[in-house]
Structure 1
Amino acid sequence: MKDITEDKRSIARRIGWFSCMSKRQPLAPVGQWVALLLAVAIGPLVAEVAAAASLNVLWYGQNPIYDGKMSELAAKAATYDPWGDGSSTWNLTIWNPQGPAPNFADYDVLAIGTGGNAWNFSFDPTGIFSNKEAISAARGSRTFLSGQDADAHYFLGAGTRPGTSADGPFGFLVNAVNWAGSGTGMGIVALTDGWFPTAHPYNRRWWLDDRSFLKEELDGYVSYFLEDSVVIPPTTSQFPVNEGLTTAGLSNWNNSAHAAFNKNIPGYISINDAGTHPGYAVTIVTASEANGSTQKPRKKSVPEPSLTFGLLGVFTVAAGWLRRK
């Protein structure tokens, strides 16, 4: 915030200086044109400084009820800021699995919810399978994988607490999307691909399918079991991806997690451990980016040197002209 504040003050000083100069004598028509040009030049700078971080979020759709709940989540995302260090707005697009494939390069993150077929879920992996190559090509530097079905608990409740709890499903989902979308390329968020540890018609297993873009990296490292004790390791508790979350807030959801990962999986690190299953994580993220920000870098708050010198030149000419009048 320091850089943005200083930029605003700098712009204000320039405007104030010009105003003082103009008060010495009413502006002639030429002077009025100079003032107008300066206002046009400075306006975009002020707007650029004040611009908030935003993410282009592509959410894999399921049905009108589910899609509506995720739209509600997106609308509230910018209100989540437990650490007071800034938040992000989401520009949400729901991807209909039966519809045309989106241009994945247009998005900061692809979020894939719980692979289930009950309780207002109707997950169909067709779109994921048929776009395996395109998704792989667009994938960026960050992937967030979890055995927790936070989207289900967001609107079904998390044990005795509402799913909209900041230290619970709501905060978990916002952190996941913000973190994955704040790297380079298109980040990935993928929640559990089923609820039951054994074969069940409510499951929609897709992670380890040959047509899955995740198959190669997950094969041999995924296990399915129920876990209600989620532990945030001390080593990752202060990572931005865990902002505002606690071990208590992620546990006791009446089955907090439905899948887990062997912690020896290459390229990933655990940010949430399976409390009753040593050696397993319920949520893993790209190791090299694990401590990365949950805010997409904003536009430059300082104008380019050429623009700065150009504005100073205009100010100099304007000041000289006014003094001669």
Structure 2
Amino acid sequence: MSLKHLLSAAACVAAIGVAPIAHSASINVLWYGQGSAYNTQMTNLAAGAASYDPAGDGSLSWNFTLWNSSDPTPTFSAYDVLVIGSSQTFGMGFDATRLLGAKSEIEAARGTRTFLSGQDADWHYINGPGAVDDGPRGFLINAVNWAGSGTGLGIVSLADGWAGSGSQWWSNANSFLAAELAGTTAYFQEESVVIPAATAGFPVNEGLTTAGLSNWGTSSHSGFTSVPTGYLSINDSGSFQGRYVTIVTEAYAGGCTSGCGDEPTPVPAPPTLLLMGMALFALGAVNRRRMR
């Protein structure tokens, strides 16, 4: 083999060795089930999730499972994301018994990404403004794809209905969120939800607009009076200064929604480093020959 061919082959193999690891185009979604009508609508949302790709940079399909009241406690580690929606019946809250009873199991499986919002986008997906891509539909799909693209069990939780202070089950002593959210949640009605300029380009806000997240006929029912440690606000209250509507895990707030798994940049394996060294040696030999 000529020196030129050796150089070419070594460079090609080295390039393969440092190529990023391919990721699956689907995630396993566990959704906290409610009544039959609610479950049907969320199943429909899941079925069309792969068609939502406003930036044209790829999408994820969902392997969708409902966790209904008659079901045993799931094996949470088998899922990429647990989604806990709002109330099926406006103003009534919902039965959080399953969540509170599975605290230790959820904590054991919980991963790197958590998405919490005072917006009841699932209720509005069903009742209006509906399947709007820069409104309830896009909001829900982005949230699930972002939380499910981390490592371990991601969490998406919305306000649990217009019933009391903040999201009631979040603050329950048996909630897996209680300690980290202590003293930060509050009940307030908000029609103006603002995407800050600093987070507008994040994948979790892909395709969304301030206008599309606002004016739902009470767009948000609760939120945060301060941002808890370890979180970042991606949607702020437009009417109440210093209040926040949607918060996400700060370390991965700008992370992907395409199943990246929070993996570090791949480091070339030793054989790859050897091949790269061979390529550099060959390149040096070619240069020395030209100088003669």
Q: TM-score with structure 1 length normalisation?
A: 0.71
Task: Please identify, of 51-60 and 72-81, the stretch whose mean Cα deviation from structure 2 is larger.
Answer: 51-60
The residue aligned with 1:84 is 56
* Residue 140 (str. 1) matches residue 108 (str. 2): no
Does the 8 A contact of 1:78 with 1:87 survive in 2? yes
SS at match of 1:183: coil
1:95 aligns with 2:62: no
From the superposition, tell whether residues 268 and 112 of structure 1 become closer, same or farther in structure 2 (CA, over 3 Å): same
Task: Supply the distance in 2 between the matched residues of 1:95 and 1:151 (Cα, whole angstroms).
Answer: 16
1:248 to 211, 227, 239: 211
Unaligned runs of 5+ in 2: 1-20, 262-268, 272-292
Residue 65 of structure 1 is matched in structure 2 by: 37
Deviation at 1:123, TM superposition (A): 2.5
More helix by share: 1
Paired residues in the alignment total 245
Letter in 2 for 1:236: T
Gaps of 5+ in 1: 1-47, 299-303, 307-325
- Report the alpha carbon displacement of residue 96 of structure 1 after superposing the two structures with TM: 1.0
1:195 to 130, 155, 162: 162
Deviation, 1:195, is 1.1
- Aligned amino acid, residue 230 of structure 1: V
**Large movers: runs of 4+ above 6 Å:** none
Partner residue, 1:108: 80
CA distance in 1: counterparts of 2:253 and 2:150, whole angstroms? 11
Q: Tell whether the 8 Å contact from 1:171 to 1:244 is kept in structure 2 after alignment.
A: yes
Question: Of 156, 166, 173, which residue of structure 1 is paired with 2:140?
Answer: 173
User: Paired residue for 1:289?
Assistant: 252
Q: Which has the higher Rg, Structure 1 or Structure 2?
A: 1
105, 112, 124: which one aligns with 1:153: 124
Q: 1:134 and 1:231, CA in 2 relative to 1: closer, same or farther beyond 3 A?
A: same
CA RMSD of aligned residues (A): 2.4
Q: Are residues 98 and 126 of structure 1, via their aligned partners in 2, closer, same or farther at CA, if it must alter by over 3 Å? A: farther
Q: Deviations over 1:39-72 (max 9, x none)?
A: xxxxxxxxx98x8510000000001111111100
Please point out which of 217, 223, 232 is paired with 1:260. Answer: 223
Q: Deviations over 1:232-284 (max 9, x none)?
A: 00000000000000000000001000001133321100000000111111000
Q: Percent identity?
A: 56
